[in-house]
A and B are shown apart, each in its own frame.
Chain A
Amino acid sequence: MGAVDLAIEVRGLEKRYRGKRGVHALRGVDLGVARGEIYGLLGRNGAGKTTLVKILLDIVRASAGSAALLGEPSRAVHARRRVGYLPEDHRFPDYQTGLSAMEFYARLSDVSRVERKRRVPELLELVGLKDAAARKVRGYSKGMKQRLGLAQALVHDPAVLFLDEPTDGVDPVGRAEIRDVLLRVRGEGRTIFLNSHLLSEVEQICDRVGILEAGRLAREGTIEELTRVSGAWKLELDREADVAMQERLRAHALRVATHGRELHLEVAEEAALDRCVDLLREQRYGLRGLSGGRASLEQVFLATVEEEVRS
């Protein structure tokens, strides 16, 4: 993919926070997101997802490496002209109403009065806050604040949208509403960078996914690429495979992971699977089911995290 086509480009990005603990949040991340693409970044708490987004928005300064937005260095003020951001745990000042908050952030993004008059009511309606627009934000529910956050991120018609846990703390109905808005936004051709814990959400919306673990981009690809695992098998056992058993299986399998009574194996050839099944039987494990071919995103994520932790 040529640099010109990239909406977001990150090369060798490192971040080590100053202070006593000196947290090494990012350890040489390389990443590219094409224009119009929806990219999901997965990772555990503290994996460095928010730090990565904040560096892209110049809220946090990188220790090394480079980051660019729409071809401009991310540290340049004008690079943020066409970028929208919904931060995690964002907090609107209590004294603002939904309408005044939208007006305020639109003006900070230098949106003209004519454009504001058109876009602000339109977006408030899109996120279902038209009737609550005159109310103080302090009276809003978590879901309403989240939807207002999404509206403010869109107020200046950005080409790139960063969403950090957009459905965090929102009930299932609110989550579905936000997902609908995102799907509509996706249809408008914007680039969306989504940080989320909710794998199902990412699976439904994103074109491509990266898994960040301990500051490194451990895996990256389309949903199709990541979940299509040749030689991947799921065995349902009558009890959880203990550590000793897992170690013995690793002699024949490329990857071994357990999830309760589920045992996930990745083997190079089917004969290796047979040897694994034999080993399980030798140890008197009861086999209740066997399936294979494709892993869920959750499985991929868990396996990746486990592998990274082990390494």
Chain B
Amino acid sequence: MNVLGAILKDSFHEARDRRALFVVGLMACLAIAFCLGLSFHERDESELLALHLSRLGKFEKQSSGGQFLQSVGFEPRLEPTRRILPDDGFDPSLAGGWTLGFSVVKEGELESLQKAWIEFRGRKNEEAGDPLRWVEQQLRVQGWQKLAVRRDPADPLRYEVGALCTRKERLSGAYRASIFFGLVQTDDEINRSREEFVLSIQLVLAGALLGAIGIFVSLLTCAGFVPSMLTKGTLDLALARPVGRTRLLLYKYLGGLWFIAITSVVVVGGTWAALALRTGVTDLRYLVMAPVSIAIFAVLYAPLVLVGVITRSANVAGLAGLGVWWASSLIVTSYELTSGFAEYSAGVRGSMQALYTVVPKTSHIADLGQRWLIEARLGGAEGVGRMLDEVRQVDWAFSLGTTAAFTAACLALACWWFRRADY
């Protein structure tokens, strides 16, 4: 433990001296600041019913020319919204829903509103139906599933709406969010619950952490660890100690992982805490992204160590690490998109199959982490399909097995080379 402790501590000192700590620290701060700058607002269903009703006079349509808006003077007098009671006389299927009474200024105002809407839609010849059904239809568009609109028999200017929604995230305007401390407002209709919204942000962060930014920075940061140990004059000091070469190299590899592990824990933990603070969502499962990112780095760091031992150059080792990452991503993606190059000749198919078997499949590890996170939070394939643009069919045992074999082979080769060399 003494030796391992010394090398882990030394790796941290080295990273600090190379300003790597500054770079990853800056990244962590930016990610945490982004999360702290998020805000999420949620409206009550009762508030939403009043809002949707007051919007009846605001028409909107989408066409190839873009979005068209028109506002006509419809300003109903709204009464307070309340829960539907059994003796309100609404259909029992609306039980648990909301009722809202509203009055128009003059008789026939709803009919006029309906006609204006038909004109706005460019259907002048369409016959206006029952205005109460039209109001129901308009509210249904806003996400209410069960509706009933009726006239007050005692007052010709007064109407009553009964509405029920079983999935609040379907209601238009139920949620609003802003980023960068309110500087940028997201679309009014994000149609995602607080949990789903936080999950989508966490997936974006995980994508950045596990993908382009995180891996790129991590590989470049740690590229010099092994070559610096192998510097002439430095290595002699270490090799003269009672530590075997294999142990020395593997501990150095662990030193790189250690630094990235600390960074990942800070970034994932920090963003989790910031999101929890801003949104109240405290689900701990997001923290699984830390070990997932460490696992991806562990795979890509192995070829970097191998090339570092052979060339003793930080630049070449860094480029090799990035090269393996990009090349393997390209091979894996091409193989999956072409269903194993099914339409090509047997020779091409065989070569690509061999390549696909050999290369590390880090994107699958990232997928596994993301899928687990989504399934744990939203449940099942439906949630995964909703949250991810692309859902790949992966043979996990084969994928993780070959990736682990690639990592082990690189490390074994690096150790063999390091053991046999004269320094």
Contacts and interface: CB of A to CB of B under 8 A. Distances in A.
B423 A60 contact: yes
B16 interface: yes
B244 A77 contact: yes
Nearest to B16: A95
Interface string B1-33: 011011101100110111000000000000000
Given A104-B10, A108-B243, A93 B238 contact: no
A110 B14 contact: no
Contacts of A104: 6, 9-10
B239 A59 contact: yes
A31 B48 CA distance: 95
Interface stretch (B49-57, B64-72, B227-235, B367-375): B227-235
A8 to B, nearest CB: 14
B422 interface: yes
Nearest to A97: B13
Output the residue of B7, B17, B422 with the most chain A CB within 10 A: B422
A80 interface: yes
A253 interface: no
Contact of A91 (B6, B18, B232, B244): B232
Contacts of A54: 236, 422-423
B232 A59 contact: no
Given A17-B422, A59-B423, A95-B17, A90 B237 contact: yes
A239 interface: no
Interface stretch (A81-89, A255-263, A299-307): A81-89
A80 B17 contact: no
A94 interface: yes
A109 B242 contact: yes
Nearest to B419: A61
A107 interface: yes
Nearest to B14: A95
Interface string B363-397: 00000000000000000000000000000000000
A90 B6 CA distance: 19
Interface in A151-182: 152, 162
Contacts of B241: 80, 105, 108-109
A108 B422 contact: no
A227 interface: no
A263 B239 CA distance: 46
A100 interface: yes
A103 B9 CA distance: 11
B5 A107 contact: yes
Nearest to B251: A108
Contact of B239 (A57, A78, A89): A57
B240 A96 contact: no
Contacts of B228: 93
B242 A81 contact: yes
A207 interface: no
Contacts of B243: 77, 108
Given A60-B423, A107-B6, A94 B240 contact: no
The 8 closest A-B pairs by CB, nearest first: A95-B17, A91-B233, A107-B6, A85-B240, A87-B236, A108-B241, A81-B242, A60-B422
25 contacts: A54-B422, A59-B422, A80-B240, A84-B240, A87-B233, A87-B240, A90-B233, A90-B234, A91-B234, A93-B234, A94-B17, A95-B13, A95-B18, A96-B13, A100-B13, A103-B6, A104-B6, A105-B237, A105-B241, A107-B2, A107-B5, A109-B242, A110-B3, A152-B237, A162-B240
Interface of B: 2-3, 5-7, 9-10, 13-14, 16-18, 228, 231-244, 420, 422-423
Interface of A: 17, 54, 57-61, 77-81, 83-85, 87, 89-96, 100, 103-105, 107-112, 149, 152, 162
